[in-house]
Amino acid sequence: MQDNIWPEFDYIASPHCDDRPDNACIRLLVIHNISLPAGQFGTPHVTNLFIGKLDTEAHETFTDLKGLRVSSHLFIRRDGQVIQYVPFNRRAWHAGVSSFQGETRCNDFSIGIEMEGTDDKAYTEVQYTKLVHVSQRLMRQFPDITLGSIVGHNDIAFGRKTDPGVAFDWCKYRAALAER
């Protein structure tokens, strides 16, 4: 189990996950962004959403989130804190309706990483450092994840999602991945 829950990060179990299909091979890494309320950082609301305890009365924009059941494997905050919600061998509910290289149901074969942010606000240096670290480790643990199978949510839910957004520096991220 240690390979699927990394002890150096905070672990807060999400009920919003289930078993992957028996034949699932983890081969896709999906980068997302999230902030609740939108553009506000450091709040407890993302964790509360992922563990099913979001008070939808806490902010006027949360009413659409009532009953929503979503999660992610990892969440990287602006200050670099990494929180894990779902063991990697389990299916997190992060991709929704999605397709990668003609195969649907990306949650079956992917790992989701949420960056605390918005589409149009630059991510922090420490976030990139942590993202590179966890990406490289995931690529070692799951060798079918390659540079060609690291995508944004927008790439697998085209027209439906825009994250991680124009502020995400793919060149910087990919160059750092290649360096190590």
114 a catalytic residue: yes
Question: Which domains, from first to last, does the chain contain?
Answer: 10-179 (3.40.80.10)
How far apart CA 114 and CA 109 sit, in angstroms, is 17
Considering the entire predicted model, what is its pTM? Answer: 0.97
How far apart CA 34 and CA 132 sit, in angstroms, is 18
Residue 3's pLDDT is what? 84
Residue 137's pLDDT is what? 96
pLDDT digits (tens, 9 = 90+) for 88-100: 999 999 999 999 9
pLDDT surpassing 90 at residue 40: yes
pLDDT level of residue 1 (50, 70, 90 thresholds): low
How far apart CA 4 and CA 137 sit, in angstroms, is 11
Choose, from 60, 103, 114, 116, the residue flagged as catalytic.
114
Residue 180's pLDDT is what? 63
Question: Considering the chain, what is the average pLDDT of its residues?
Answer: 96
